[in-house]
Structure 1
Amino acid sequence: MLASGKVNCGKCSSTVYFAALFASKGKPESPVRPTTIVQWPESPSTAFPEAARVSPRFIAAHAEAERAHRLGLVELAGMGYRRALEVLVKDDAISRFPGSRETIEREALGSCIANRIDDPLVREAAKRLTWLGNDWAHYVRSWTQYDVDHMKTMLGMVAQFLMMRASLERLPEEMPAGKKPREAS
């Protein structure tokens, strides 16, 4: 069954128009699960506001993967989250090592993770996230006990760490020691 409608947001007063596909297992007593197939205007991802400074491409890649995920296109979403990870890791590395930009751009994701993520826990999470992402691109999946939701969660953890570190590294420049803040006008 196809349904469409309009929803008004109580927080921001915006209106979202949607079309949803409702599917059940053919039994009248089965719960109906909607799948949103169209939403306008698109809601921007606000999950990683700090990432816009370091990696606007990550925001775009992540939004596309989320859109595919919402539409139930899990194979595309899996590859999309893997792509978002690569963009984030490489943009983060380029921001930290600007003199190595060309090397980082050509470097395989696994090498970039191994060589450019210092924290061992985050490095291991990013490595495993790469495995899961690669799984969605190949004919036979190896890590079948993990789904796209696991990838999304792991990507969120890696992104939050990298963005937190970027914010903390920027802090001394934004608030230099021994310098008084300007008077507010």
Structure 2
Amino acid sequence: MEYRSQIMSLGYSNYYQSTYLIPDLCPRCNRSNNPITKLIGSKEYSNGRVCFLVHHCSSCNLDHYSLQLISPDRSGEETKLWALHPSNNLKDFSENLLKFSPRFVDLYHQAETAENAGNFDLAGMGYRAAEEVLIKDFALAFSGESKEKIANLKLNDAISHYFKDDEASLISTDVVRINGNDFTHWNRPEGFDLKAQLEQIKQYLDIYIARVNYQLMIENPPVTRNKSHDSKSNK
């Protein structure tokens, strides 16, 4: 995560124009971060003042919070960000996947952002939606079937149709689909554990993501064999 400095007056001697850090992207909505920041409390130590700050995002109208060690003016010491809530550590995807299915990556990150904000039902729906986009992008690229046919398949039918000979993809995508349905539909099992089910969804979705990445790596190798050379000239 990238951060940038902002200046605020803390109202204390030697700290009037001190700098604090904010993430470039809001950890709630993942949009450009230009928050209104307020000092909630602080305590001075020998090496600086520990400040608890609240940052109100103008895009999503939600707050995120930070704990920072801010040094006195003219001390030459840099501000240290000790903690940020919620954290915004979004999943990294390969360049191949980013180019192949940008909508899948965007939906996945939206689901992560919802999960980080504690909106677990929305997150479960989002991961399921992201899976459907990736499955259908994969089908469009490699099945030879038309976009219209692929678009008209329900997720369950798409999984059965495209992965009937690929057991790992069949099992992993079915787990995400079935668990995702429990976040989407009105009726769900008694004692449903949202956090545990979200973790399971992400684990099995990772299996399918790895399957897609494997295919993309095979289709886009960084080097190719020079077929014009015979076997004696190859080394």
Task: Provide the TM-score with structure 1 as the length reference.
Answer: 0.70
Normalized per residue, which structure has more helix? 1
Match of 1:36 in 2: 86
Shift, 1:47, TM fit: 3.2
Does 1:153 pair with 2:203? Answer: yes
Q: Give structure 2 stretches of 5+ with no counterpart.
A: 1-19, 24-32, 36-54, 56-63, 67-83, 230-235
Q: Letter of the aligned partner of 1:20 in structure 2?
A: Y
Q: 1:122 and 1:158 mapped to 2: Cα distance? A: 6
Q: 1:179 and 1:115 mapped to 2: Cα distance? A: 40
SS in 2 for 1:171: coil
- Say how many residue pairs are matched: 155
Q: 2:213 and 2:189 mapped to 1: Cα distance? A: 30
Does 1:20 pair with 2:65? Answer: yes
Match of 1:56 in 2: 102
Contact 2:136 2:151 in 1 (8 A): yes
Match of 2:218 in 1: 168
Q: Any residues of structure 2 matched to 1:119-130 within 5 Å, and which? A: 119-130=166-177
Q: Letter of the aligned partner of 2:220 in structure 1?
A: R
Q: Letter of the aligned partner of 1:6 in structure 2?
A: L
Contact 1:48 1:59 in 2 (8 A): no
Q: Any residues of structure 2 matched to 1:96-111 within 5 Å, and which? A: 96-111=142-157
Task: Provide the TM-score with structure 2 as the length reference.
Answer: 0.56
Does 1:134 pair with 2:181? Answer: yes
Deviates more, 1:70-79 or 1:163-172: 163-172
Question: C-alpha deviations, 1:65-89, integer Å up to 9, x for none?
Answer: 0110111110000000000000000
Normalized per residue, which structure has more strand? 2
Deviates more, 1:88-97 or 1:50-59: 50-59
Q: 1:87 and 1:48 mapped to 2: Cα distance? A: 17
Match of 2:75 in 1: none
Match of 2:73 in 1: none
Q: 2:201 and 2:162 mapped to 1: Cα distance? A: 21
Q: Give structure 1 stretches of 5+ with no counterpart.
A: 9-15, 22-33, 181-185
SS in 2 for 1:46: coil
Shift, 1:35, TM fit: 4.5
Sequence identity percentage: 25
